[in-house]
Chains A and B, each alone.
Chain A
Amino acid sequence: METGIQIGDVLLVTSIMFFIGVYGFVTRKNLIAVLMSLEIIINAAAINFVLINKLVFTTNLHGVFFTFFILAVAAVEVAIGLVIILNLYRLKDSIDPEEITTLKH
């Protein structure tokens, strides 16, 4: 039996990362922190892609290539997210998500 990193270890680590991200996303009172939490969630998914590709599907590189797409999309998303936050700050003088509740019933 091959020693080293097992699939269960990987999933444990990424699950912890994912829920840390979710916790941050739901509780932070600063939009930039929220955005950072979002990055953690995305990274948890990206690590899953790479390592499952490495450990389970050893004959191809689909997971690795998919990670590149995730990185590109994440970069774009951060850029757009920061622009939105900047504009929100100009508009509302605040980046607290609890104060940005214009879209409601």
Chain B
Amino acid sequence: MNWSYTIWIPLLPFLSFVINGVLYNRLPKKLSGVIGTSALGVAALLSYLTAGRYFFGTTSAEGYQPILAWQSTWMHITDKLAIDMGVYLDPISIMMLVVVTTISFLVHLYSVGYMSEEEGRNRYFAWLGLFSFSMLGLVLAPNLVQTYMFWELVGVSSFLLIGYYYDKPSAVRAALKAFIVTRFADVFFLIGILLYSYYSGSFRFEDLNNIAAIQAAHSSIPVFMGLSALTWGLMLIFVGGAGKSAMFPLHIWLPDAMEGPTPVSALIHAATMVVAGVYLVARLFPAFHGSDDGFALHVVAVVGTFSSLFAAIIAMTQMDIKRVLAFSTMSQIGYMMMGLGVSGYGEEGLGYTASMFHLFTHAAFKALLFLGAGAIIHAVHSNSIKDMGGLRKYMPMTNITFLIACLAISGVPPFAGFFSKDMILEAAYEHNKLIYFTGYITAGLTAFYMFRIYFMAFWGRNRDYDHEPHDPVWSMKIPLIVLAAGSVVLGLLPFNEWVTSDLRPLHIHFDMMMAAASVGIGVIGIITAYLLYRKPSDAPDKISHSLGFVYKTVKNKFYMDELYLGITREVILKRIAAPVAWFDRHIVDGTMNLIGNTTVGLSKGIKRIQSGDFQVYAFGILIAVIFFVVLFNYFIPTI
């Protein structure tokens, strides 16, 4: 079968980026959105075509085989070591293709309505195109170097879009923070790539994942602190993934990233870019699983589990609707990491499938939550849930879709989140009881904080609004409806047939008790939220007041931002940056200044010779000629 057309899936958004970027001021006002949306629409259709052909057309007894649809050598270093650019199709990359193009298309469509009053819309759509291109390039990468390049490109486009309102100081700060924190993590990522591929001798994923071959090729791989260099490399790579996926303790940029336009948050900071870390671990899953008995994978599981609980606790106290969703995203990504971390390989790869499944369903309902929040913010002109209340009367459509998304994320059957979350918990239960228990508590907290904002925004106190809020325009409604439909039915997809750790179909059994338990805790969370926030009351305030110090700590996000700020100011700036700056100013610059000043002084002394009187010059020439004639005639022997 011919797969070469798949190269157009990333290239179409790139075209949209080029057209919107180059014809920045010359495009008619409405056209930029149309170009972006149609490019992504076609890309989405191509992705569905690819998914259909791949999942229904290439199955064999060996399971699904990866396909290298397109490839070109970019840098030829040695015969074995070359850096390629290519399009690599396998179940997870095709799944991500579908997710990225669909969400990006819907977000483009939504933005046509949402950004209709903004001045810099062409810039906005150009950057959305750049982001979609980079994300698709990242997803389709057949080797780690291409992954890294597009990894940085999504980082840049995220930076540009967070700082879209560049006249707002808080947005500029947030953009810088996101860029610096993820860049900091990417340094470790790069070191990890270099360390790991030093032993694998190749950047291709097949070679990286073939850990037996790597170990066979080297008689001894150095061991540091009881772990082999391969494991260290993988853990450094995971640091990069944790930075992008906002895992503790590199999560501090994600809540601030909400300064960007809301559709951007839905696309980048909920559905696609932030799951790149999960995708990266899934890409290298056999390596993670095979190296040192999967030690690196345990690290992934612990970090993921802790982040998911940590973020869920913070999310309960936040008042900004987008920040609640941001912490919720962090929590759910922690879930995905946990799913990968507890997974085995082959027949025991339930966690892997569950994690990818959760990534898929989460993209739908979290994008829906963000777009719904965007519709609310558009109507109420405020991010704070204190300014909302009683919106169900004004915005019935938004109300229903938001409710569906909340039910999906809380794991209520038959919505999509139930199936994927239940699978993750099941995998965790078989692996480690403590991880399972933490995930279980987190599920309850998730249900609670989601319904907290739902009840506070759509029920609660009725207010008088200056402008009466109303449902958004059609271009914003359609994405909400499509994603709501997705949040309902996507859980029924047979993911265990398609996306598995060893590419063969996985047999799963449905544990009724386990499902009932996880639904139970979800329902408890929902009921608690209902009792506290359904009607306006002072009970929540009383509870938070009685918790006192604990509540304050949580509300301030465990003072993580302050901790980072303190370390930056006290240690990095004072102890490291200041001496380095002194050295730069006095030693490096001093040397250069000395050279410069000497030259200037010398020229001041000798420039008087150039008097402008040509007779003096002529005399000088005469003297010189005589000097050389005498010199060569009498003092230097002829050759």
Are A and B physically bound partners? yes
A: residues with CB less than 8 A from B are 22, 25-27, 34, 97-98, 100-105
Stretch from B55-63, B278-286, B582-590, B605-613 forming part of the interface with A = B605-613
- Closest residue of chain A to B620 (Cβ to Cβ) is A26
| A101 contact from B608, B613, B618, B619, Cβ within 8 A | B613
Q: Chain B contacts of A27 at CB under 8 A?
A: 615
Contact (Cβ within 8 A) A97 B611: no
Q: Chain B contacts of A103 at CB under 8 A?
A: 612
Q: Chain B contacts of A102 at CB under 8 A?
A: 612
Q: Chain A contacts of B612 at CB under 8 A?
A: 100-105
Assess whether B622 is interfacial by the CB under 8 Å rule.
yes
Contact (Cβ within 8 A) A105 B608: yes
Contact (Cβ within 8 A) A97 B614: yes
Q: Chain B contacts of A22 at CB under 8 A?
A: 618, 622
Q: Mark B600-635, 1 if CB is under 8 A from A, else 0.
A: 000000011011111100110010000000000000
Q: Chain A contacts of B611 at CB under 8 A?
A: 101, 104-105
Q: What are 13 A-B residue pairs whose CB atoms fall within 8 Å in the complex?
A: A22-B618, A22-B622, A25-B618, A26-B619, A34-B615, A97-B614, A97-B615, A98-B615, A101-B611, A102-B612, A105-B607, A105-B611, A105-B612
Q: Chain B contacts of A97 at CB under 8 A?
A: 613-615
Contact (Cβ within 8 A) A104 B618: no
- Closest residue of chain A to B611 (Cβ to Cβ) is A104
A-B contacts besides A22-B618, A26-B622, 9 pairs, CB < 8 Å? A25-B615, A25-B618, A34-B615, A97-B615, A101-B611, A101-B612, A101-B613, A105-B608, A105-B612
Q: Chain B contacts of A25 at CB under 8 A?
A: 615, 618
Nearest CB of A to B148, in Å: 55
- Closest residue of chain B to A29 (Cβ to Cβ) is B615
Count, chain B residues at interface, CB 8 A: 11
- Closest residue of chain B to A38 (Cβ to Cβ) is B618
Q: Chain A contacts of B614 at CB under 8 A?
A: 97
Q: Which of A26, A98, A101 has the most CB of B within 10 A?
A: A26
> For the complex, what is the distance from the CA of A34 to the CA of B610, rounded to whole Å?
20
Q: Chain A contacts of B618 at CB under 8 A?
A: 22, 25-26
Contact (Cβ within 8 A) A98 B613: yes
- Closest residue of chain A to B609 (Cβ to Cβ) is A105
Q: Chain A contacts of B610 at CB under 8 A?
A: 104-105
Q: Chain A contacts of B608 at CB under 8 A?
A: 105
> For the complex, what is the distance from the CA of A26 to the CA of B615, rounded to whole Å?
5
Nearest CB of A to B218, in Å: 68
Q: Chain A contacts of B619 at CB under 8 A?
A: 26
Nearest CB of B to A55, in Å: 23
Q: Name the 4 nearest CB pairs between A and B, nearest first.
A: A104-B612, A101-B612, A105-B607, A105-B610
Nearest CB of A to B608, in Å: 7
> For the complex, what is the distance from the CA of A22 to the CA of B626, rounded to whole Å?
13
Nearest CB of A to B604, in Å: 10
- Closest residue of chain A to B619 (Cβ to Cβ) is A26
- Closest residue of chain B to A103 (Cβ to Cβ) is B612
Nearest CB of A to B622, in Å: 6
Q: Mark B466-510, 1 if CB is under 8 A from A, else 0.
A: 000000000000000000000000000000000000000000000
Nearest CB of A to B189, in Å: 57
Q: Mark B160-190, 1 if CB is under 8 A from A, else 0.
A: 0000000000000000000000000000000
- Closest residue of chain A to B613 (Cβ to Cβ) is A101
> For the complex, what is the distance from the CA of A83 to the CA of B297, rounded to whole Å?
91
> For the complex, what is the distance from the CA of A27 to the CA of B611, rounded to whole Å?
16
> For the complex, what is the distance from the CA of A5 to the CA of B10, rounded to whole Å?
94
> For the complex, what is the distance from the CA of A34 to the CA of B614, rounded to whole Å?
11
Q: Which of B608, B612, B622 has the most CB of A within 10 A?
A: B612
> For the complex, what is the distance from the CA of A105 to the CA of B616, rounded to whole Å?
14
> For the complex, what is the distance from the CA of A101 to the CA of B619, rounded to whole Å?
16
Nearest CB of A to B625, in Å: 10
Interface residues of B in 206-248 (CB under 8 A from A): none
- Closest residue of chain B to A19 (Cβ to Cβ) is B622
Interface residues of B in 372-423 (CB under 8 A from A): none
> For the complex, what is the distance from the CA of A25 to the CA of B622, rounded to whole Å?
11
Q: Chain B contacts of A101 at CB under 8 A?
A: 611-613
> For the complex, what is the distance from the CA of A103 to the CA of B611, rounded to whole Å?
8
Q: Mark B104-143, 1 if CB is under 8 A from A, else 0.
A: 0000000000000000000000000000000000000000
> For the complex, what is the distance from the CA of A103 to the CA of B616, rounded to whole Å?
13
Q: Chain A contacts of B613 at CB under 8 A?
A: 97-98, 101
Interface residues of B in 274-321 (CB under 8 A from A): none
> For the complex, what is the distance from the CA of A37 to the CA of B615, rounded to whole Å?
12
> For the complex, what is the distance from the CA of A104 to the CA of B607, rounded to whole Å?
9
> For the complex, what is the distance from the CA of A100 to the CA of B617, rounded to whole Å?
13
> For the complex, what is the distance from the CA of A5 to the CA of B610, rounded to whole Å?
45
Nearest CB of A to B616, in Å: 8
- Closest residue of chain A to B607 (Cβ to Cβ) is A105
